[in-house]
Structure 1
Amino acid sequence: MFYEHAYLRAYEQTPLTDIDAFAYFVVRDGEKPVAVTPAYLQTAADPLHCLYTAYPEARDQPALLSHTWHCYDAHVPATTEVLPRLLDAMVRTASVFRARWCGFVNVQRGSALSQSLRANGLPARHLLDRWTADLGGVTDYEHYLARLNQRARANLRRNERRSREAGVTIDVVGVEHAALDEFLLLCTKTASRFENNGFHPDLTFAAFVRGLGDLAHVIEVRQHDKLVAAGVCLTDSTRFHTWTCGIDYAVDGNYSPYGVLFAESVKLAVRLGKRVLEGGLGNGVFNRRHGLSPRPLDAALIRT
C-alpha cells in the first residue's frame, strides 16, 4: 500500500509531516528496476516520540529516513543483492542534504530487510510494535469472533447490541463523500490522548486522504447524526489497513465507539476478501485481546 504511486504522490503533494526534501532511489539491473525506496529529509524526525529514545544521539539532527512515519511497513525488494548499493546512495544523498543521519525506520524485525541491514553492519534498535491478524480462511465476522476467547467475543457482541440501542449508525464511504473535516477533529482529540499532536496536520490531512482515491475507505460511526468515531482504512491486494482513526469518548450510552469501529473494520476487511488485518501502531492491550499479534518494528540508522 505504502509504495503505491497514489500514496507516494499524495505524500509529496500534501505531506503529513514536515519534509525538507524528497528522494526516490531506484535500483536497476540494466534497464530493469529491481528495487525502489522513497526517503524523506526531516529536521523534526520523531513525530511518534520513539526514534530519539532508540537513537538519543540523533536528537534534533537532520535525518534522511525511509519510509514516511505514516508507513509502518518499510521494505526493499531484492534486498540481498541491492542493499549495499542502496545504502551507499543514501549516505551520499544524505551528505548532499547535509543530514547527519540516514537509514530505515519501521522495519519489521526478522524481515528480509531487517536481516540484510544486520548483515551490512546496521544493528536494529526497537521503536514500537505494529499489530496484525491473519484473516486466511475467515469467511465472515462470526467466524472471526469464533477465533477469540469467550470474554472478548462476548464484549464485542455486547458492545454491538448496546450501540444499536443507543441509536448508532455506521456508513462506509469513499473519500469523496467522507466528512473529513469532522474526522480531523476526532483525530486531533484522539492524538491528544496519546501525545501525538501534529501527526495529522489540519492543512494537509483532508487533501492527502482525498489523493488516495480508491485505495482508501472511510468508516463513519454516528450517534444521532453526530460523528463519534471514524477510521480511514487503506487496502492493497492482500491487506486491510486500519490506518488511522478518531474517537469521541464522550457518548450517550454504555458502549465503546472504538469497539464499534473495530468490529466494522473486521467486517469490511472480510467482505473485501483481504488476507491480513493490519491494526496499525499502539493500543496493544485491546489488539491482543481481540485477535491481533505484535510485530516489533526497528530502526537502523547510519551516521553520515
Structure 2
Amino acid sequence: MGGEPEVIVAKTIDAVPAGAYDDLAAHCGASAYYDRRFLRAAERHPLLPIESLHYLLVRDGDRLDAFMPVYCHAVSTADPLGLLSRTASAGFHSSESALFSHVMHCCDTRLLLRDNAPALFAMLMDRLERLARDSGVPQFAIANVADPALLAMAEARGMEINYSVDRYQMDLAGIDCVEDLITRHIPADGRQEIRRQRRKLAEYGVRVEIEAPPFARIEEAGRLCHETTARRGTPGYLPADALARFLTECGSLLRIVSIYHGDRRIGVSALLLDRPTVHLWLAGMDYALDTFSPYTVTFDTLFHFAFEHGFTRIECGRLNERTKQRFGFTPRPLHAIVQRVEARPGRDAKGAPSPAGSPRHDQTPICPNPPPERTGP
C-alpha cells in the first residue's frame, strides 16, 4: 500500500473513513457491536459515564488494518457487579479508572485485525499501554472476550487472562421449526412454561408487536428497561433517557418487541440483528401482573422471529443463568484480558505496580483519575 503502517487516534467515529472502516469490518466478519450505528450511539448517548473516548486505528496508506474503540471509565461504573475486580489477580481495583476496549453492554468483544495478524495486535497494545501510562490510568481491559485468536495473542504477549462470566447462545442448525425446537431441544420445565404462557395469551388478552424503526413510545421502552435493571441491583446500567436515544440512533440495526396487556406495555426487548445471529440484547418487564410472564413470551417470540427471518443462532447475553438454561441456551465462557501499567514519571497512578518497560512521553493526558464513584452494588 506504500509506506509503513501507522497507529492513529480518532476522537469520533465520524472521523474514521467510512469506506475503509466498512471494508475492514467486512473482512474481519465484525459483529453488530462494531456496526457504525452502534458505535455512534455509544459515543453520542453513552449508557455509562465516559471519561474519554478514543478510536485506535492502524492505517496503511488509505487502507485500515486494525480498529479498537477505547473508553475510559471509573471501574466501579463499568463493572457494577465487580466481576473484573473479583477475577483479575493483577488487582483490578474498583476505586480506580481504566481503559476498556468496548462498552460493557457488548458481550462479544473483539479487535478488528486484518487476518488476525499478531503484529497488528502488538501495535494496538503498545499504543493502548502508552495511552494508559501517560494518562495516569493504571490498568486497561479487553472485557467479555470469547475469541480464541484474541486470547491466544494476549497470552503470547504475557497479558493476564481470567474467566469472568458466561454468555448464553443457541444454535438452530438442524432444527426444523419452533415446535421442533420446543419439543426436542428445550428442557421439560421450559417447554411446559412456554405452553402454559401461550394459553394465557388468549386468557388475558395479551398481544405481541414487533417494530422496525421508527419506534413508537421509545421513551417508555427505555424506562421499562431501566426499571428492570434497577430492580436487579444495577440502577446506573441502563439510564432511561440515554437508552431511548441510543435505540433510536441504532435504527434498522434493531427490532423492538413489545408485549401489551390492553394498552399497557408489560414487556419490551431490543433484538440486535447480526446475521446469521439475532441477539436478545436487553429487556424490561413490568412484574405487577404476577399471573402472567412477559419474559417467557419474549423468548417464545424470539424463537418465532429467528425461524421466520432465517437466523441460525440466538444470543441472549449474560447473567440470569437459570432462566436461560431453562429455555435451552448453552453457556459459553467469557474472559477478561487485563494489564496493569506504570505511570509516566511525575504522574500518580493509584497503587499501580511497575511492570518492566520504559514509559514514553509523547501523549497528552486524556483521562485523569476521577474520585471513587459507584453506580451499582
TM-score, shorter chain, exceeding 0.5: yes
Matched, 1:115 2:148: no
Whole-angstrom CA distance in 2 between matches of 1:208 and 1:113: 28
Q: Secondary structure at the match of 1:2?
A: helix
Whole-angstrom CA distance in 2 between matches of 1:257 and 1:195: 20
Amino acid in structure 1 at the alignment position of 2:109: A
Report which of the two structures shows the higher radius of gyration computed on alpha carbons.
Answer: 2
- Equivalence for 1:194: 232
Pick aligned residue for 1:59 from 71, 94, 99: 94
Checking the alignment, whether the CA contact within 8 Å between 1:80 and 1:116 is kept in structure 2 is: yes
Q: 1:184, CA displacement in angstroms?
A: 2.3
Q: Secondary structure at the match of 2:33?
A: coil
Checking the alignment, whether the CA contact within 8 Å between 1:175 and 1:209 is kept in structure 2 is: no
Q: 1:48, CA displacement in angstroms?
A: 4.0
Pick aligned residue for 1:210 from 248, 263, 268: 248
Please list the CA deviations of residues 150-198 of structure 1 after superposition, one character each: whole Å capped at 9, or x if unmatched: 3322221111111221111000012422322222222222112321111
Pick aligned residue for 2:211 from 168, 173, 188: 173
Q: 1:232, CA displacement in angstroms?
A: 0.8
- Equivalence for 2:305: 268
Change (3 A) 1:135 1:15: same
Q: 1:121, CA displacement in angstroms?
A: 0.8
- Equivalence for 1:298: 335
- Equivalence for 1:156: 194
Task: Give the TM-score taking structure 2 as reference length.
Answer: 0.76
Aligned pairs for 1:1-304 within 5 A: 1-29=32-60, 31-43=62-74, 44-55=77-88, 56-76=91-111, 77=113, 78=116, 80-108=118-146, 111-146=148-183, 147-251=185-289, 254-304=291-341
Which stretch shows the higher mean deviation, 162-171 or 38-47? 38-47
Structure 1 stretches of 4+ with a deviation exceeding 3 A read 28-31
Checking the alignment, whether the CA contact within 8 Å between 1:187 and 1:200 is kept in structure 2 is: yes
Task: Give the TM-score taking structure 1 as reference length.
Answer: 0.93
Structure 2: state its 5+ residue gaps.
1-31, 342-377
Change (3 A) 1:79 1:200: farther
Q: Secondary structure at the match of 2:240?
A: coil
Please list the CA deviations of residues 27-68 of structure 1 after superposition, one character each: whole Å capped at 9, or x if unmatched: 245543222111101123323432222235422211111111
Change (3 A) 1:206 1:111: same
Q: CA RMSD in A?
A: 1.8
- How many residue pairs get aligned? The number is 302
Which stretch shows the higher mean deviation, 160-169 or 4-13? 160-169
